[in-house]
Amino acid sequence: MTTTATLTRTAQADGATLTTVETPCLILDADRMDRNIARLRALGMRVALDDFGTGFSSLTHLQRLPIDSVKLDRSFAANMEDEVGGKVVAAVAGLCRTLDLTSLIEGIETPAQLRRARQYGYRYVQGYLFAQPMTIEALLRWLDEDRRPPLHGRSVAGGRAASVR
């Protein structure tokens, strides 16, 4: 079975499928990446730019790529209690709102970080506060237990986003 066939079945079964694009992939062959993102979007998938703010990521990617979401790298959550760190995290959320992109912050590990992320306008967060990385079997057991994060919202899984209404 081809990857496209698998993605087609996944996209048909779940309209909320999200594919992440890691920024080093963009450096190697931008034209190929554009074509692949277009193919994923044609299958009904949403695309997120992963690890934004570190490494090879660039504001140019926000302007040039047909993405739906930005996942702010976990290193920013660790520093958002600092004055400058907090302003950067808030600015990325504001930039995403301006560009009509969904923003998600990775690395939320404490209730204080979750409160701060909500204050800055993040509706989606990801981190150890909700769950540790786990196998698919453990994930299915975890979901069967109907686990809830310590503060408002609902966590889907350690590797997926939690809404923080």
CA distance 69 to 88: 17
Q: What's the mean pLDDT in 92-109?
A: 96
Provide the pLDDT for residue 66. Answer: 87
Q: Where are the domains of the chain?
A: 3-163
Provide the pLDDT for residue 144. Answer: 86
Q: What's the mean pLDDT in 12-23?
A: 54
What angle, rounded to 10 degrees, do the helices at 83-98 and 111-119 form?
A: 50
Provide the pLDDT for residue 20. Answer: 60
pTM passes above 0.95: no
Written as six digits, the tokens of 140 are: 């299915």
Provide the pLDDT for residue 84. Answer: 96
Provide the pLDDT for residue 130. Answer: 87
- Specify whether domain 3-163 bears CATH 3.20.20.450: yes
Q: What's the mean pLDDT in 43-51?
A: 89
- Helices (H) and strands (E) counted in the chain, each on its own, are 8, 7
